[in-house]
Amino acid sequence: MTTATLSLSELTAAATDAAKISAAASDAQRAGWLTAVADALDANAAELVEIADSETSLGTTRLTGEVARTTGQLRLFARVITEGSYLEAVIDHANPDATPPTPDLRRILRPIGPVAVFSASNFPFAFSVAGGDTASALAVGCSVIVKAHSGHLRLSERTAEIVAEALRNAGAPEGIFALVSGREVGTALVQDPAIKAVGFTGSIPGGRALFDLATSRPEPIPFYGELGSLNPVVVTEAALAERSATLAEGLAGSFTLGAGQFCTKPGLVFIPAGTDFAEQVAEASKGKPALGMLTSRIAEAYPDGLRSFASVQGVEVVSGTVDQDAVANGAAPVVFSTTAAMVQENPGQLLEECFGPTTMLIEYTDRAELSAVLAKVPGSLTATVHAQPGEDVSALVEQLSELAGRVLFDGWPTGVAVNWAQQHGGPYPATTSLFTSVGATAVRRFQRPVAYQDAPESVLHPALVDSNPLGIPRRVDGDLILP
């Protein structure tokens, strides 16, 4: 269903009815719906990749892998809900001998209701129509209305057709999934009283505007936004002395990957002062080609961001040029270099995200100066440490843990594993909440806790029945009980 056939109010009304049916369905039923969608997307992968490449210029290799990631996410959430711990079922039996006596209390997480999902430009599959937000919301029993991204509208419409048909054929209720498009419709979707939560991946200005709408409604709702991230990397003196060439090659590959349009691109790299690492990175970046960007708007913004960096006194262009036409010729890599002191003097200009294949090398004189400049870095999705075995980096790791949701060691942040342990989120502006948007616990965003006091067993969810018919992990009278 799209707004071509139904109005927004009709779509949200249908989503409300469908959410009630989905919430009452078993985990096994909903897992079947997710698996059916995954199978349908895999069966149509070649067609979808062709459409996606024509709209995004991301290339068939990258896009084919992204389809596989997307269907893998759907199947992961099918496993998550059938395993059962996502319900966080807790039972505390009545205790008349307590002071005061305590009643029988049983708590579980329940679906929040219809969810709005805003597609991302840079991941036309994995963070889009059938991406992680949609999959995690459907998994726990929510209905979903997706707002298509204008950068890949044809792909969104075709993907939605496949998803809707797969859900219908698998027995999911009508209205459980729909697609809309257009900025005004997206704004109205966030404000519609039927919508109970929003998932968003995009720019800080756009996300903040929708966040403000969501929280200023007569009934405020959660807004789970992934907005912007600089993803700082720290290289120690010992690491640089031992493997500078390898580090330069790795950095060049990471910040240019996908034309630098990954949300986990390493935008800031802190290095010891007085080395030739900048020249090594410049050399490693020379062979990286200019690549087409996702949209003309993004391509137009890229040179503006480069010129903003270059205009700051004390910032050097190590390789590449800021005078480029990314719309006509693609985005070419640019490496900047400056000092920690310059960043501390100009945080508003130098600690801005520039979406594209560029990175900023920042020289620090000692650990104290490094700590001081890191304190200026805004919240990020990731932070990375390159150190040598035996180095004491515990204080550094603690500081990085405060500003990022994922801390990496001796690797590069581009590439996000989809599994049970993943955390893809961080302090604002990386995200607007504490929860991950990737991995098993992404479902937690679209659930709310409900406790039942002295309830008859006949009205309880099966997860709260003493006999545990679902065979799931539960906490009973304070003890974690595994099946």
Q: Of 376, 409, 442, at which residue does a domain stop?
A: 409
Same domain? For 279 and 378 the reply is yes
Same domain? For 35 and 177 the reply is yes
pLDDT given at position 434: 87
pLDDT digits (tens, 9 = 90+) for 277-314: 999 999 999 989 999 999 999 999 999 999 999 999 99
Same domain? For 397 and 440 the reply is no
Same domain? For 95 and 74 the reply is yes
pLDDT given at position 4: 56
Same domain? For 198 and 268 the reply is no
Same domain? For 98 and 164 the reply is yes
135 belongs to a structural domain: yes
Secondary structure of the chain in HEC code, one letter for each residue: CECCCCCHHHHHHHHHHHHHHHHHCCHHHHHHHHHHHHHHHHHCHHHHHHHHHHHHCCCHHHHHHHHHHHHHHHHHHHHHHHHCHHHCCEEECCECCCCCCECCEEEEEEECCCEEEECCCCCCCCCCCCCHHHHHHHHHCCCEEEECCHHHHHHHHHHHHHHHHHHHHCCCCCCCEEEECCHHHHHHHHHCCCCCEEEEECCHHHHHHHHHHHHHCCCCCCEEEECCCCCCEEECHHHHHHHHHHHHHHHHHHHCHHHHCCCCCCCEEEEECCCCHHHHHHHHHCCCCCECCCCHHHHHHHHHHHHHHHCCCCCEEEECCCCCCHHHHCECCEEEEEEHHHHHHCHHHHCCCCCCCEEEEEEECCHHHHHHHHCCCCCEEEEEEECCCCCCCHHHHHHHHHHEEEEEECCCCCCCCCCCCCCCCCCCCCECCCCCCCCHHHHHHHEEEEEEECCCHHHCCHHHCCCCCCCCCEEECCEEECC
Task: Report pTM.
Answer: 0.94
List active site positions. 226, 263
267 has pLDDT over 70: yes
Structurally, how many domains does the chain consist of?
2
Same domain? For 238 and 385 the reply is yes
102 belongs to a structural domain: yes
420 belongs to a structural domain: no
pLDDT digits (tens, 9 = 90+) for 314-331: 999 999 999 999 999 999
Give the confidence band of 1 by pLDDT, cuts at 50, 70, 90: very low
pLDDT digits (tens, 9 = 90+) for 338-379: 999 999 999 999 999 999 999 999 999 999 999 999 999 999
417 belongs to a structural domain: no
Residue 237's CATH number:
3.40.309.10
Same domain? For 202 and 262 the reply is no
Q: Of 356, 378, 409, at which residue does a domain stop?
A: 409
Same domain? For 210 and 330 the reply is no
Same domain? For 237 and 221 the reply is no
pLDDT digits (tens, 9 = 90+) for 2-45: 445 789 999 999 999 999 999 999 999 999 999 999 999 999 99
1 belongs to a structural domain: no
pLDDT given at position 6: 86
Residue 457's CATH number:
3.40.605.10
419 belongs to a structural domain: no
24 belongs to a structural domain: yes
Same domain? For 221 and 354 the reply is no
Same domain? For 266 and 291 the reply is yes
415 belongs to a structural domain: no
- What is the mean predicted confidence (pLDDT) over 146-165? 97
Q: Identify the domain containing residue 342 by its residue range.
A: 233-409
